[in-house]
Structure 1
Amino acid sequence: MTTTVEITRFRVSPEHTAELLAARGGMIADFQADRDGFLGAKLVQLPDGEWLDIVEWRLPADFAASRTKGGNLPGIQAFFALIDELVSTEEGTLR
């Protein structure tokens, strides 16, 4: 079985790390409630204030539908608001 993987690299000011981690649960809960095909997510802290968010989707169409919704719910908005800079976003296939 293959799944679609969303890989997003972003920067957060070090003084907002605790807030980012606290907001993560609300974002995940909103994704579970509102995003068909959401399978799970992992957040990786990198050096120099960078983060890597790895999100798994059942199908490419599920990921595409999620992107059109953007930050449509409070938990997602709270997490997104802490991001200072979006470095990159990629889509791949987990095999």
Structure 2
Amino acid sequence: MVTVELTRFRVSSARAEELLAARPAMLRDFEADRKGFLDARLIQLPDNEWLDIVFWRSPEDLAASRAKGGNRPYIQAFFELVDELVSSEEGVMLDGRLP
């Protein structure tokens, strides 16, 4: 089963465009460096909140990614735009289809 990482965070409205511009390079770093990374979706919520939904092959792949943190330049650049982490959870996708 696919492991799903759900991360809510806040980014000031003044930096929202910068966040979106940084996203493609961050995802390329994930594809190059994060074993088990399958896909990701970024959702804009009200009140400067965002939801990042990341799909992993296994919980072990997610744990390994978390241990690496912002180890690559574009991942770090994206993380630096986040003003506040609201929540981070993981679950299992049951319907078996990636977006």
Q: Deviations over 1:1-51 (max 9, x none)?
A: x20000000000000000000000111000000000000000000001000
Q: Which residue of 2 aligns with 1:19?
A: 18
Q: Does 1:54 align with 2:53?
A: yes
Q: In the aligned structure 2, how far is the partner of 1:13 from the partner of 1:74? A: 21
Q: In the aligned structure 1, how far is the partner of 2:17 from the partner of 2:76? A: 16
Runs of 4 or more consecutive aligned structure 1 residues displaced over 4 Å after TM superposition: none
**Cα drift, residue 71 of structure 1:** 0.1
Number of residue pairs aligned between Structure 1 and Structure 2: 94
Q: Which residue of 2 aligns with 1:70?
A: 69
Q: In the aligned structure 2, how far is the partner of 1:41 from the partner of 1:47? A: 20
**Cα drift, residue 56 of structure 1:** 0.2
Q: In the aligned structure 1, how far is the partner of 2:26 from the partner of 2:60? A: 20
Identity score, percent: 67
Q: In the aligned structure 1, how far is the partner of 2:23 from the partner of 2:31? A: 12
Structure 1 unpaired stretches of 5+? none
Q: Which residue of 2 aligns with 1:8?
A: 7
Q: Which residue of 2 aligns with 1:38?
A: 37
**Cα drift, residue 74 of structure 1:** 0.6
TM-score for both structures, normalised by structure 1: 0.98
